[in-house]
Chain A
Amino acid sequence: MSTGEGYAGDATRVVAGTHKAAYRASWYQRDAVQAILWVGPAFLYLAFFIAYPFVMSIYLSLSSARVGSPDWHYVGFVNFRRLFEDPVFWQTVRNSFVFTFGSEIIRLLIGLPLAFAMNRSFKGKRLVQGIILIPFVIPIALSSLAWKWMFDSLYSVINWMLMTAHIIDYPWQWLGEPGLAMSAVIIMNVWRGFPFSAVILLAALTAVPGEVIEAAKIDGAGPLRRFVYVVAPIIRPILFVGLLYSIVFSFTDFSSVWLLTQGGPYNTTHVFGTYAYNIGINAGDIGQGAAITLFMFPLLAIFVIVMLRLLRRE
């Protein structure tokens, strides 16, 4: 694994010479100064548009802020305490995990065979690539609406297909029954996200050098062994990147669930984003809404740090 930092010192030491050393010293000194220019704008952006509002949100979650009144005051952890006593909140936590990890697992299971299928050249590959990407490209708000209509209580095209194929004999209430509703939002999330998972997996597969596979084949390894012991380790870093991105995306998602079910039926599809929005904005309790959203952050951070640790451990 080549990182930038370590080598510079070694390489120049080999070519030692006061001239070079002096040159290197002034380089180094200028590095710290130069860094300000290079990283400065990005840092400013983060400070202004993320750090400051984030800190404000923390403050909001510890305050009695409401939507209409300009005067709020510090109330300590009352908002959090109310959340912990709220059964709907805990249901939201459960739902968020089920939604995120359920979608992710299905996406990987579906994406892998697709990546294998795409990992060869064939006629019309460009076209197929474009088509497969469409669910990923359609703005979420719009595809959520389309799915809403597809799951409609009366006109569902999904029910129509299932009934015509005699798989079910009465229309299922996709958005009306708790289990079905969660399945519906997961299905939609999977449809939207699997092109991305497939592309990541495809990228990963193309990174595996052909010779390595051949060598493994010669050694007599079957497809499963080849995958587990040869392919998987190589594609791990890429997988992690993709996994991280799509898990964070699902976990913090708001518009897809909101447009499909508004958290119903009776709160069985509420996720952090939708519950926070409903309480913070619609009901007007900003403090409590901020508390709910903030709760996501440590969970995500822990997950990310664990993933990064695993990634670095090579």
Chain B
Amino acid sequence: MAQLTRRQFLGTTAAGVVAAPHVWVKGAEAQQKSVSILCWSHFVPAYDKWFDQFGQEWAAKNNVKLTIDHIPHLNLAAKIAAEVATQSGHDIVQLAASGTEKFAPALVDLQDLADKLGKKHGGWTPLADNYSSYKGKFHSIPDYFIDFPGLYRKDLWTEIGMPNGPDSWEELRQGGAKLKAKGFPIGIGLAHHNDSRNSWRAIQWCFGGSEVAKDGKTLTYNSPQIREALKYMKALYKEAMTPEVLAWDDASNNRLLASGRGSWIHNPISAYRTIEGQNKELADKIHIQLSPKGPAGRLSFANCLAYGVTKFSKNQDTAKAFIEHLTDNFKDAFRASTGYNNPFLKTYAKGPLPIISEDPKLKVLEKSPEYHYTIGHPGPLTVAADEVYQQFILIDAVAQFCTDKMDLEQTVKWGEDKLKAIYAKFA
């Protein structure tokens, strides 16, 4: 497995110390094109294995030297920042969650490739457009998004009369309260990590609230809908959850479910897959449902991933060719991810898709592309909206309200002030 990575670079005096095991100098002209990809370590390890092999097969067929570097998703931002600052690094970089606008000035305009792929596969979903567009042009090619359905213990919910789990947030609250009394609380995080800020956005949208309007500039946080959402969350926290959610990280809700104590969590199916691997008996009791709906409809949060080609790449066309090849084989990728990677292209979204269409438990996931939205909704994914996301502003407001550190009006004011401070930077 010990793949040593070769890097091509120009020799300098400093690199005269080159008699080192891991690095060696190549001539200035390469015999072969080389493409390097920076992406995250997928939550489903099997996907990475498939991806690496898929890449090498393509590389061999096209006489390309392909290197794929996996780093944790939390380190991606720092890594790409460093590469942009030094104008050197990978040819293809994966943009996770934060949208394309953030790095767009350093990325190549990919509209023509996007059009080609759109035509081939039925067109892009609005979510795709939102995620990859910058000044009206695609600067990255959307790859897949991670959805947030509900995972529930069918046995427990059947006991209280909801055999298909809670369909609305209100039902979640009522059912959750009953189950908590029995010792099986639900869990939605209220801490500094992804799941928390993602779930909160789903809730606020379902109540009709948002941070910003469709134009992406007008703040709408100070509204009755947000107040309703906040009040709901506090009630949910007090009645159906335990204080541990304030100390959670991304793996905590998985652990709550895996421990047998959790009755409902808001999470992609990775949690279910892990339990399947460890405790078949428990896994059989876990079912998957659509993310709950609220007074304003059913909306859930999508964590999107796209691939961009860096402007400093020396092999842009080869890089584009790989992305095209990957997109054409989305179904295989989907299968390798055991149903985790949701599609952005309409033909794929219409289905049927491997695994989820075949498994009755997972069939609900087919609907994911229809009701998932991302950071900044209903506005576009702007840098401002991303900053709000990164600084945990919305979730901090919620957490402080739920733990009675601030009352409702103070919370709304706190949130609004912070939003104003950030959005003012981009006015």
Contact = CB atoms under 8 A, between A and B. Distances in A.
Direct contact of A and B (CB under 8 A): yes
Interface of A: 66-71, 82, 85-86, 88, 148, 151-155, 171, 173-177, 181, 261-267, 277-279, 281-286
A263 B192 contact: yes
Contacts of B244: 153-154, 171, 173, 176
Contacts of A155: 255
15 contacts: A67-B103, A68-B103, A85-B421, A154-B255, A154-B256, A155-B255, A175-B191, A175-B247, A177-B243, A181-B247, A265-B192, A283-B387, A283-B391, A284-B77, A285-B425
B78 interface: yes
Majority secondary structure of chain A interface residues (helix, strand, loop or mixed): loop
Contact of A176 (B247, B390, B392): B247
A265 B104 contact: no
Nearest to B258: A154
Interface string B232-256: 0000000000011111110010011
A67 B192 contact: no
Contacts of B421: 82, 85-86
Interface in B63-81: 77-78, 80-81
Contacts of A69: 105-106
Contacts of B252: 152-154
A175 B425 CA distance: 32
A70 B105 contact: yes
A262 B84 contact: no
B42 interface: no
B255 A282 contact: no
Interface in B348-379: none
A173 B246 contact: yes
Given A86-B421, A266-B399, A70 B192 contact: no
Contacts of A285: 387, 425
Contacts of A88: 418
B192 A177 contact: no
Contact of A262 (B87, B193, B418): B193
Contacts of A261: 192
A262 B246 contact: no
Given A154-B255, A264-B192, A283-B387, A67 B77 contact: yes
Contacts of B77: 67, 281-282, 284
B396 interface: yes
Contacts of A278: 390-391
Which of A85, A151, A153 has the most chain B CB within a 10 Å cutoff?
Answer: A153
A286 B387 CA distance: 12
B400 interface: yes
Nearest to A71: B105
**Which of B80, B102, B244, B399 has the most A CB atoms < 10 Å from its CB?**
B244
Nearest to A284: B102
- Most chain B CB within 10 A, of A69, A151, A155, is at A69
Interface string B247-273: 111001001100100000000000000
Nearest to B405: A266
Interface centre among A70, A171, A278, A283 (most CB of B within 10 A): A283
B324 interface: no
A266 B406 CA distance: 12
A70 B405 CA distance: 41
Nearest to A275: B391
B383 interface: yes
A285 to B, nearest CB: 7
B171 interface: no
A95 to B, nearest CB: 14
B170 interface: no
Contacts of B418: 88
B386 interface: yes
Residue among A66, A85, A88, A176 facing the most chain B CB atoms (10 A cut-off): A176
Contacts of B383: 66, 284
A223 to B, nearest CB: 43
A258 to B, nearest CB: 9
A171 B246 CA distance: 13
Sorted nearest first, the 10 A-B pairs with minimum C-beta distance are A176-B247, A176-B246, A264-B192, A68-B103, A153-B244, A175-B247, A283-B390, A262-B192, A69-B105, A153-B247
A272 to B, nearest CB: 15
A176 B192 contact: no
B248 A153 contact: yes
Contacts of A82: 421, 425
A68 B106 contact: yes
A279 B386 contact: no
A152 B105 CA distance: 41
A154 B242 CA distance: 11
Contacts of B102: 66-68, 284
B131 to A, nearest CB: 15
Given A261-B192, A285-B387, 14 more contacts: A67-B103, A68-B104, A70-B106, A82-B421, A88-B418, A173-B243, A174-B247, A176-B245, A264-B191, A264-B192, A265-B246, A266-B399, A281-B81, A283-B387
Contacts of A152: 247, 252
Given A82-B421, A154-B259, A266-B400, A67 B81 contact: yes
Given A173-B247, A176-B247, A261-B192, A67 B84 contact: yes
A283 B386 contact: yes
Nearest to B259: A154
A275 to B, nearest CB: 9
B142 to A, nearest CB: 18
A267 B289 CA distance: 34
Nearest to A177: B246
